Structures are given as structure tokens and as C-alpha cells.
Amino acid sequence: MLERDYAALPAEKKRRVIDEVELLGETVRFEGFDGNNETAHMSTARFIIKHLDKFEAFKDRDLNSHSPSLDMHRRMLVPFQKFGFDDGRLTADTIIAVLKAQYRR
């Protein structure tokens, strides 16, 4: 949802996300899970994508982030659940809150 809804934002809202989150680059991308330490999560994601034909956009991705990501994903879940949607899409405010949660410790 983050990738899809960020991509659908108007340019001025994308710029706001980039500025407030201090994104490196101008894209939001799911990198997956650590192949060495989060193999069950990575394998589950691959199974859902390749065998259940869900999340087509991830079909050709490696999904190995090469660094632990579960704690980050758990932090991101909190604002994701707290903030709202706008016509079934994440708002710029929600995207900002979720992305900022990546870096909190």
C-alpha cells in the first residue's frame, strides 16, 4: 500500500513526503526481509507472491533486504493502524507517519 499510494500522490504531496521524511531518493520501496535472520518471513512472502499470485508488483523482486527489518516493520505498523485512509488510499500524512517510524528506536 505504501508504494502504490505514494506513487499515486500528486507531485506537491510527494515533495512534502520527501522533505518531511528526508527520503533518500524519491521512491518508496518494500525491500523485504533479511535472508539470514528472517528467513521464515521472507519465505512466507515469496510463497504468497509466487504461489498464491498476490502482490503482483513484487513478483520479480529478490525480497532479501540483507539487513534485519522486522523491528522496523513492527514500528511502521503502529502509525499505519492509527491513521486513516482517504477513499481507500493512504493519505500523505499517514505515509509520512509510517515512513518516519522506520527510524525511531
38-54 pLDDT, tens per residue?
999 999 999 999 999 99
Amino acid, res. 16 = R
CB contact at 8 A, 42 and 33: yes
Instruction: Give, in order, the Cα–Cα distances in Å from 5 to each of 9, 46, 51, 57.
Output: 6, 22, 25, 13
The model carries a pTM of: 0.84
The DSSP line for 53-104 is ---GGGTT---B-SS--HHHHHHHHHHHHHS-EETTEE-HHHHHHHHHTTS-
11-26 pLDDT, tens per residue?
999 999 999 998 767 7
58-104 pLDDT, tens per residue?
999 999 999 999 999 999 999 988 876 667 889 999 999 999 998 76
Is 14 in a helix, a strand, or coil? helix
